[in-house]
Amino acid sequence: MSYEQEKQVAIEAALAAAKLCEKVRTERVPESIEKSDKSPVTVADFGSQAVICRAIAAAFPNDLVIGEENAAELRQPTMANQLAQVTSYVQSVVGDVTSDDVLNWIDRGNSEIGERYWTLDPIDGTKGFLRQDQYAVALALVELGEVKLGVLACPALPVDLDRPDGEKGVLFVAVRGEGATMMPLSGGEAQPIRVTAADDVANMRFVESVESGHGDHGRQDAIAKAVGITASSLRMDSQAKYGAVASGRAALYLRLPSPKTPDYREKIWDHAAGTIVVEEAGGRVTDMYGKPLNFSLSAKLVENQGVIVSSGAIHDTVLAALSSGG
């Protein structure tokens, strides 16, 4: 199965959502709303989820969607201002809709896992988005636990990482068995991408989160050194890190459990799209014990701890360094 229709719907939805996010970011200093788990959310996160759930509902009315956000808080009378803002941003990309439509689309993203489901992070890296840094709109289709399609829109990512002041905005797309591509968000031809070659010394660097609470920077540094990476890490928010590995700009992405939250379990929407983009570019993704990420259980990757993403060639060496206590 080629997933042609799914791919077109996912790309168009992600592009519209990315446009909404950039509009929010250029028009205002986005207000950070605190969720019950103390993590931030903004009107752009809600707007992005509404736009993407709307598109999936229109094309695949029976499909399940598991998105990060829900509209419970936005339905509170105290949130009327924010709801009006979300509605107006959604209108700016999809035309005339009501606040009720918006709330219902957001809540379409609260399904349970089934045999076939979409998983959506409307803004992955909200902290990066708030800092005017990296973030991604991440959407993936999973069937029987296998990611079949992934789309990552990274509006703030330089098209050429060596020219950070050059054009920004990259779209990564992967379909199982068909490879991975990237193209500028502004349009143009989709170019096939490939992970870095084993002898590519210039790109022998690793990526990790900006947030110290989302990983273990000290141990990540030590592991990178143990496998021969001498360059210091490139710190980047969001699944843009998967894009960096998939496009050969880094050989490794390390995400080891933070000592502050050792029991944290990663969420499916934080990894599904990135995983297929890297795998289809020739790389490998496992947890820190070498187990594949199990997307068939729940919104949390309950059977996995830590995430290791690599160009493939160095993957076993990284796992060995981890198991020997590095």
DSSP string, 97-165: --HHHHHHHHHTTBPPP-SEEEEEEEEE-HHHHHTTS--EEEEEEEETTEEEEEEEEEEEEESSTT-TT
Our CA dihedral for 177, 208, 229, 282, rounded to 10 degrees, sits at 0
**Interaction between residue 237 and ligand A2P (CB under 6 A):** yes
Phi, psi of 12 (to 5 degrees): -60, -40
Among 6, 22, 69, 270, binds ligand A2P (CB under 6 A): 270
Contact between 305 and 288 under an 8 Å Cβ cutoff? The reply is yes
Report the residue from 145, 261, 289, 320 that binds ligand A2P according to the rule CB under 6 A: 261
Residue 9 has phi, psi (to 5 degrees) of -65, -45
Binding Mg ion (rule: CB under 5 A), the pick from 24, 43, 67, 68 is 68
Catalytic residue among 42, 119, 126, 181: 126
Is 317 marked active-site?
no
Does the protein bind Mg ion through residue 266 (CB under 5 A)?
Answer: no
Q: By CB under 5 A, name the one of 22, 107, 266, 270 that touches Mg ion.
A: 270
Residue 235 is a binding residue for ligand A2P (CB under 6 A):
no
Q: Is 45 among the catalytic positions? A: yes
Residue 277 CA neighbour count, 13 Å, CB half: 30
Q: Does 42 bind ligand A2P (CB under 6 A)?
A: no
Helices of type H across 95-200 = 99-107, 126-130
Length of the chain: 326
When asked if residue 5 is in the footprint of ligand A2P (CB under 6 A), the reply is no
Region binding ligand A2P by CB under 6 A among candidate stretches 70-78, 176-184, 208-216, 289-297: 208-216
261 binds, among ligand A2P, Mg ion, none (CB under 5 to 8 A by kind): ligand A2P
With H, G, I as helix, E, B as strand and everything else as coil, classify residue 51. Answer: helix
* 238 belongs to the binding site for ligand A2P (CB under 6 A): yes
- Cβ–Cβ contacts within 10 Å for residue 173, how many? 25
Does position 39 bind ligand A2P by CB under 6 A? yes
Q: Which residue number, 68 or 280, has a Cβ lying nearer to Mg ion?
A: 68
**By the rule CB under 6 A, 32 interacts with ligand A2P:** no
Rounded Cα distance, 49 and 100, in Å: 14
Binding flag, residue 122, ligand A2P (CB under 6 A)? no
* Shortest distance (Å) from residue 16 CB to ligand A2P: 21
Q: Is 265 exposed, middle or buried (0-12, 13-18, 19+ CB in 10 A)?
A: middle
Give the residue numbers annotated as catalytic, written as ranges: 45, 126
Q: Which residues of this protein are in contact with ligand A2P, per CB under 6 A?
A: 39, 68, 124-125, 128, 209, 211, 213-214, 237-238, 258, 261, 264, 270
Binding-site residues from annotation for Mg(2+): 68, 121, 123-124, 270
